[in-house]
Structure 1
Amino acid sequence: MQKMITIRSGEHHLSGALHLPHYKKEDIPLLLFVHGFVGSKVGEHRLFVKAARYFTERGYGVFRFDFSGCGESDGDYAEVTLTNQLNEVRDVVTYLGSVRGIDQRRITLVGHSMGGAVASLTAASDTRIKQLILWSPVGMPYEDITGILGPKAVHEITRKGSYDYHGFMISQTFLKDLKKHQPIEAARSFTGPAHIIHAKADEQIPKEHAVRYANSLNKRVDTKQVFEQYIDKADHTFSSYSFEDELFDNSLAWLEGSPVGKSLSQT
């Protein structure tokens, strides 16, 4: 079952899609997908749509949404900042708290690319997030995103204040705001289970970030050890059916074996 949802966040309305299993006997766990830089709730090659269908077939609820300035949501990308996106995720989580049938003890944030940075920062400060899964996550927002934009774009943003990147206006405010956030360090404040899966042939975000995230998370006290996984030959968006299958299967295997899942299944 899929239902289109509109959520108010600040001055904007965010477009979302809620997927629920057809049959459920009890409150269901929920995965909240967070898309990346100039992305959308559909995802490259429909990654998030396919993921939603995969996980709902296995008993999970899924919510995917567009940040403001993206997809079908209000706003323009010229106004986007990572700080604003953090506020929008919190508003989405608040909405999900009102959805009947969702087990509030089993909300997992799944972030891809820039969405991985947003997910890490959110999980670090919002106790409603119980688990965290990162797919090829941005680890150093300013360095990673300016690396994608390239030096010419960064120079033009510095000189003119903005740059047209494939139809998305990237502002100087956006870049300055990126410097404020350090998601790898922030992840240490998250107290729940976490897992990282990175594309081994990632051409956009360094695969070494997976180790950096794991090392940061493993500095926490009294938490289960975090391991990173790699999908061999996969590119940044996991753009083949075989890469997607491995990504989804590995994520599900971790979810089914996570401490939160175990403790609830035994009660």
Structure 2
Amino acid sequence: MPERHRIPVEGPETTGEVPELAAVYHPADTDQWLFFCHGLRSDKSGSYENRCRRAVESGYNAVRFDARGCGESDGEFVESTIETRLTDLRHVVDRFDPESYALFGSSFGGKVAFHMAASDDRVEAVATRAPVTTTETFNHHRGVVDTTGTWTFETGERIDRRFFEALDRYPFDDVVGALGVPAAVFHGSNDDVVDPNDSFDAARRLQTDVLLEKFAGEGHRFSRPAEDRLLKRLFGWLEWAYGRT
């Protein structure tokens, strides 16, 4: 039975009331763990619930959570950056304190997962779907922010200069130079949000074992058949990748 958790995010930068993250833990009777990182404007619901169920069926303790400013977690979306999301992920992982674990991140969550995998020795493998690996993904948004101070998405969420200042502090070069665990990258060929060519370039640059799969005809959001195929590929790959380091 899934367990719901509220995880406080405390640190030197915390002022005033301590924000809490909403997380859901799907237990399995093993010592293998898989943590999921959602996209920029996504949350832990929907496809992540199914992904966690499949993870448990495959023998993984699975955890999905909302980053600050998203879903059921505290905070304002405009305060969310790559730095705050890495801090959130670290607090979630530390709450469950696994000896080792794997990561799956989608879109901006893929960037979070890559940087975490490059900085935490407990990570055994990292898998991503349509990961953000270049700052150019947000060039249009950056131009508007440089001019007006903020970018507002059609759903009302906002980003400002803090988002880009943090983004520039976390180039993919840092991942290339530090990542030492197997990586998997899945990307739809018709993605018009994150350029599929970015994933091919990232795979070429990474100096570790990389599984790269192009899903023909799929966009930034996968169809249900493609999602099912993704999960079959993911857990087949994880069976090989987890624990080999």
Fold shared, TM-score > 0.5 on shorter chain: yes
Q: Does 1:64 align with 2:71?
A: no
Q: Does 1:131 align with 2:125?
A: yes
The answer to whether the Cα contact below 8 Å between 2:124 and 2:241 also exists between their aligned partners in 1 is no
Match of 1:38 in 2: 41
Classify 1:96/1:245 alpha carbon distance in 2 versus 1 (closer, same or farther; 3 Å).
Answer: same
Distance in 1, Cα, partners of 2:173 & 2:220: 19
Displacement of 1:184? 5.1
1:201 to 190, 193, 217: 190
The answer to whether the Cα contact below 8 Å between 1:35 and 1:66 also exists between their aligned partners in 2 is yes
The answer to whether the Cα contact below 8 Å between 1:120 and 1:184 also exists between their aligned partners in 2 is no
Q: Does 1:250 align with 2:233?
A: yes
Match of 1:28 in 2: 31
Q: Does 1:160 align with 2:153?
A: no
Match of 1:48 in 2: 48
The answer to whether the Cα contact below 8 Å between 1:197 and 1:247 also exists between their aligned partners in 2 is yes
1:182 to 148, 171, 179: 171
Match of 1:234 in 2: 218
Q: Deviations over 1:74-109 (max 9, x none)?
A: 000121121111111111111120xxxx5x23x101
Give the unaligned 5+ runs of structure 2. Answer: 11-17
- The one-letter amino acid of 1:233's match is G
The answer to whether the Cα contact below 8 Å between 2:125 and 2:242 also exists between their aligned partners in 1 is no
Distance in 2, Cα, partners of 1:5 & 1:191: 31
Aligned residue pairs: how many? Answer: 237
Distance in 2, Cα, partners of 1:8 & 1:183: 29
Give the match's secondary structure for 2:64.
strand
TM-score by length of 2: 0.89
Give the match's secondary structure for 1:32.
strand
The alignment-based identity, stated in percent, is: 27
- The one-letter amino acid of 1:32's match is F
Classify 1:211/1:159 alpha carbon distance in 2 versus 1 (closer, same or farther; 3 Å).
Answer: closer
The answer to whether the Cα contact below 8 Å between 2:23 and 2:65 also exists between their aligned partners in 1 is yes
Q: Cα RMSD over matched residues?
A: 1.9
Match of 1:15 in 2: 22
TM-score by length of 1: 0.82
Q: Does 1:145 align with 2:154?
A: no
Match of 2:3 in 1: 3
Q: Deviations over 1:229-255 (max 9, x none)?
A: 1112111121x2101111101101101
